[in-house]
């Protein structure tokens, strides 16, 4: 049975159809890549899943339980945590405090939360920067911190919104390794990304979105040679 | 335990003041300072810790004042109980207000609180059956209370000083407890980034509403005290926009998100106000405005915040 | 039926003056994202300027406007350059608090200088109202309405047809893009703030024959101003005009058909409803 089931998901903004009759599933333990040209609705999909937006129509089920209508904090408590396309650290708090807060919500005890935070931060490779204020970090480190913060909430499903944006090639390598490592601990991942190399390397399956609609789905190699996908990115004549 | 010693000693000293000082004017000054301290500290719970700047706290103050007065004048309930109920009424009023206003963020939230407070003021002004409208409510005598066999002399300032000092200390203690509790951390997260806070599982609405209710409770309590001390309330005295704004100023000038900040702000601004009143009769608000501008420009952490930074080592 | 039309006319006339106040505030917000809480006090300064010009030197307010408006334009520019510019990087809330302090400062300096007495300006020609079609229209209000329309048209031409005006609109739509196109955003901001202050002064002059004048009148005006600007959509000039007229009409009908006492409340309730259900206002652009 699928961990996450999306069926008929639609979201309109006035006359604009941002997401249109979208259906796909995510199996437990897989890494699903979500790709598509800019403005195709990928972040909107994340916002819909996590409750920051409510769907005009459609169903979202986690472990066969309907989560439509839940507020974002409730969705997180059910086991889905997201990162943001533009990082949102708690700027005046230290790296440690950022992650500890997330753990505190789940664990309730400050000492346990701190231990959990340190564990998550070690996992992402920020163990040597624990007491630096978050606003002093580089973008790459801030993204890693946001991932650690998400991990500290103990998610079943992690939604990563363009984690590689703005990173140099070396940082991208490390980030890919990190995502694979997270996957190895049993967390399911949906990855929105533009960096094709990363998507090809990490994803088990890929869903391609264009103007809010799914136009292709399948293993990375298959999807990349799909004419509909090629025309979406490069125009009809190249396909 | 060692860290708690200075505040505890200060608290005890504060409570001893009425026993040592008999100058009625000085005691009155102290009472005013303490009352504004309560207002600054309560506002700070929402404004400093949660980062939600309310321009409408006068509505809770006024509701507390009127509750106390009405319960005493119409039902004979002694003002000290009325005060507590005034605080509760303030907290209750904050629930629908929070429900409406928390849908908005930042300056829009602030403007909404302003509008709501004005609505409350206009209702109080016009609902003459309940509030006597612009004529206000007057208490002539306070009930007789005996303490250790002696009736309390309500004509002297001493007893009032003690009461407001206790309220002030409670408000500061409540702030301290809040900061240490999980709710305090949640509010901090909300202040830093509300969406991120929501995304790590914090029920931001509930946290904000809780902070507002606590803040409104103490503000209402102060309102009740105001009624008891001045024995006269009217809508212009307890519901005006300027009162809400002064509360904001005291907390901002003193230093947000510290326990002592609003105290410093209250002492500083009230002292200036009284000095100016001595010399010029009007115009203390000129200095409030001026200091607000100076603080935001040069001391964004407030006076106390700046002082604290002088003493803590740089990270 | 006559009451219906009289109320409508009253509402539109007053509403147009409200709109003048609102336009100044919305233009400032549109370009700089500043909510200027001192705006009402700038109106008050315009009112007092006209009042003193008349009381001391017998200059008709509509004439003294010719001096007061440019004066406040310059004052506004200076206020931006020397006071506000340094504050803006601190964020919207900080700026809001700063202008709150400024408002208090201005209003109370005025209070100190001129006392809190309520004053009125009794113009000789205000005695007998005009009576077109049997509806009473006070002469100063009619003149003010005419001038307000003129000013609005002039503003339209400024924003639509002049280079500076277009630069103002561009900056309000996207400051970063405007800067990239070579627009000096700092200068535009300064000019816009001056413009907002000038419009406030103009509104004050137009209002003074028709309203009670006292130093803290800014408090009520700023709150009404927000209702207007939020109704119309923060940043939208046509919105502010529509919002102003709407508020004027609603208050007018509210006073007659609901209750004089609660007429102000109606405005606030509408304000809250709009903030809650359509925060971009009736004409505003939806924020991303």
pLDDT digits (tens, 9 = 90+) for B32-74: 999 999 999 999 999 988 889 999 999 999 999 999 999 998 8
SS3 C1: coil
**B200 interaction partners in chain A (CB closer than 8 Å):** 73, 76, 81, 101-102, 105, 149-150, 152-153
Q: Residue A31 — φ and ψ, nearest 5°?
A: -110, 115
Q: Is B196 on the interface with C (CB under 8 A)?
A: no
d(CA B286, CA B289): 5
Q: Return the residue matching tokens 């960096």.
A: A195
Contacts of B202 in chain A (CB under 8 A): 73, 105
pTM as predicted: 0.87
pLDDT of residue B2: 63
pLDDT digits (tens, 9 = 90+) for C107-162: 989 988 888 888 888 777 777 777 877 777 888 888 888 888 888 888 888 888 88
Residue of chain C whose alpha carbon sits nearest to that of B102: C276
Q: For position C285, what pLDDT does the model report?
A: 54
Do the Cβ atoms of C13 and C248 come closer than 8 Å?
yes
Q: What is the per-residue pLDDT for C288?
A: 32
Tokens representing C184 are: 């000096």
> Beta strand A80-82 with A65-66: parallel, antiparallel or unpaired?
unpaired
Q: What is the mean pLDDT of residues B168-188?
A: 93
What is the interface pTM, i.e. ipTM, of the complex? 0.89
Burial of C229 (0-12, 13-18, 19+ CB in 10 A): buried
Q: C89 pLDDT exceeds 80? A: yes
Other CB atoms within a 10 A radius of the CB of residue B127 amount to 13
Kindly identify which residue of chain B lies nearest to residue C107, measuring between CA atoms.
B286
Residue C88's contacts (CB-CB under 8 Å, 6 or more residues apart) are: C32, C34, C95
Option in B185, B205, B315 nearest A101 (CB): B185
CB contact at 8 A, B58 and B246: no
- What would the pLDDT profile of A121-134 be if each residue is shown by its tens digit? 999 989 999 999 99
List, in order, residues 6 or more apart from B71 with CB less than 8 Å away: B77, B81, B82, B85
Verify whether the Cβ–Cβ distance A104 to B188 is below 8 Å.
Answer: no
- B293 touching chain C per CB within 8 A: yes
User: Which stretch, B105-109, B268-272, C79-83, C249-253, has highest mean pLDDT?
Assistant: C79-83
pLDDT at C252 over 90: no
Over the stretch C157-210, which tens digit does the pLDDT of each residue have?
888 888 888 888 888 888 888 888 888 888 888 999 999 999 999 999 988 888
Q: Does B108 contact C at CB distance below 8 Å?
A: yes
Structure tokens at A93: 């708090």
Q: Are strands B146-147 and B150-151 parallel, antiparallel or unpaired?
A: antiparallel
Which residues in chain C are contacts of B115 at CB distance < 8 A? Answer: 223, 226-227, 268, 271-272, 275
Query: Of A71, A102, A133, which is closest to B200 when you measure between CB atoms?
Result: A102
């Amino acid at each position: 049975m699928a961990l996450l089931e999306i069926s008929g998901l639609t979201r309109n903004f006035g006359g604009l159809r941002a997401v249109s009759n979208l259906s796909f599933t995510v199996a437990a333990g897989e890494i699903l890549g979500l790709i598509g040209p800019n403005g195709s609705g990928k972040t909107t999909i994340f916002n819909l899943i996590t409750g920051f937006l409510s769907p005009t129509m459609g169903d979202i089920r986690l472990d066969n339980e309907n989560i439509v209508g839940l507020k974002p904090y409730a969705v997180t408590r059910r086991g889905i945590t997201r990162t943001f396309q533009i990082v949102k650290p708690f700027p005046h708090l230290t790296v440690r405090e950022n992650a500890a807060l997330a753990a505190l919500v789940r664990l309730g005890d400050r000492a346990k939360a701190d231990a959990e935070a340190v564990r998550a931060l070690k996992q992402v490779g920020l163990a040597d920067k624990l007491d630096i204020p978050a606003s002093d970090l580089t973008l790459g480190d801030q993204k890693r911190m946001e991932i650690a913060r998400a991990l500290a909430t103990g998610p079943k499903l992690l939604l990563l919104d363009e984690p590689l944006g703005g990173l140099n090639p070396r940082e991208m390598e490390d980030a890919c390794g990190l995502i694979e490592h997270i996957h190895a601990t049993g967390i399911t991942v949906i990855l929105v990304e533009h960096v094709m190399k990363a998507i090809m390397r990490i994803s088990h399956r890929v869903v391609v979105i264009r103007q809010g609609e799914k136009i292709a789905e399948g293993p990375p190699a298959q999807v990349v040679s799909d004419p509909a996908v090629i025309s979406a990115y490069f125009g009809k004549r190249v396909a | 335990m060692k860290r708690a010693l200075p505040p505890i000693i200060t608290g005890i000293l504060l409570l001893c003041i009425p026993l040592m000082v008999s100058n009625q004017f000085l005691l009155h000054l102290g009472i005013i300072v303490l009352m504004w301290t309560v207002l600054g500290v309560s506002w700070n719970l929402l404004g400093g810790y949660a980062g939600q700047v309310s321009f409408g706290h006068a509505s809770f103050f006024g509701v507390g004042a009127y509750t106390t007065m009405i319960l005493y004048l119409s039902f004979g309930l002694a003002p000290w109980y009325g005060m507590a109920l005034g605080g509760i009424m303030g907290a209750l009023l904050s629930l629908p207000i929070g429900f409406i206003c928390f849908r908005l963020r930042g300056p829009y939230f602030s403007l909404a609180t302003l509008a709501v407070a004005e609505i409350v003021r206009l209702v109080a002004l016009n609902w003459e059956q309940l509030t006597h409208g612009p004529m206000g409510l007057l208490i002539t005598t306070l009930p007789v209370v005996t303490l250790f066999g002696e009736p309390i002399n309500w004509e002297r300032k001493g007893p009032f000083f003690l009461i407001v000092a206790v309220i002030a200390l409670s408000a500061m203690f409540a702030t301290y407890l809040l900061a240490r509790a999980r709710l305090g951390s949640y509010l901090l997260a909300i202040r830093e980034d509300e969406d991120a806070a929501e995304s790590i599982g914090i029920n931001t609405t509930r946290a904000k509403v809780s902070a507002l209710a606590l803040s409104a409770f103490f503000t209402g309590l102060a309102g009740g005290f105001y009624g008891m001390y001045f024995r006269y309330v009217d809508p212009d005295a307890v519901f005006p926009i300027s009162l809400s704004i002064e509360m904001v100023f005291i907390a901002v000038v003193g230093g947000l998100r510290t326990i002592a900040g609003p105290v410093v702000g209250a002492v500083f601004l009230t002292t200036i106000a009284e000095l100016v009143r001595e010399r010029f009769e009007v115009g203390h608000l000129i200095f409030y405005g001026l200091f607000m501008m100076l603080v935001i420009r040069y001391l964004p952490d407030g006076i106390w915040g700046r002082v604290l930074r002088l003493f803590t080592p740089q990270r | 039926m006559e009451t219906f039309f009289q109320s409508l006319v009253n509402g539109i006339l007053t509403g147009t003056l409200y709109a003048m106040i609102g336009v100044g505030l919305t233009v400032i917000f549109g370009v700089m994202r500043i909510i200027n809480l001192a705006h009402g006090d700038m109106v008050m300064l315009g009112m007092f300027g006209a009042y003193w010009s008349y009381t001391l030197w017998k200059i008709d307010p509509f004439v003294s406007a010719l001096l007061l408006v440019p004066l406040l334009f310059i004052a506004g520019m200076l206020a931006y350059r020397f006071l506000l510019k340094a504050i803006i990087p601190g964020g919207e809330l900080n700026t809001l608090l700063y202008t709150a302090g400024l408002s208090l400062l201005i209003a109370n300096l005025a209070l100190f200088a001129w006392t809190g007495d309520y004053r009125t300006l009794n113009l000789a020609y205000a005695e007998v109202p005009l009576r077109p079609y049997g509806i009473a229209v006070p002469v100063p209000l009619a003149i003010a309405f005419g001038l307000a329309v003129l000013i609005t048209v002039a503003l339209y031409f400024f924003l639509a047809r002049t280079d500076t005006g277009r630069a103002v609109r561009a900056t309000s739509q996207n400051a970063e893009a405007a800067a990239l196109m070579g627009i000096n955003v700092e200068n535009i901001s300064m000019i816009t703030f001056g413009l907002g202050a000038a419009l406030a002064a103009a509104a004050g002059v137009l209002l003074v024959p028709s309203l009670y004048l006292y130093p803290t009148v800014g408090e009520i005006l700023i709150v009404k101003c927000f209702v207007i600007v939020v109704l119309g959509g923060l940043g939208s000039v046509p919105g502010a005009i529509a919002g102003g007229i709407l508020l004027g009409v609603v208050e007018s009908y509210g006073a007659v058909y609901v209750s004089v006492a609660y007429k102000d409340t109606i405005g606030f309730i509408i304000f809250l409803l709009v903030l809650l259900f359509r925060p971009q206002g009736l004409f505003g652009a939806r924020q991303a």
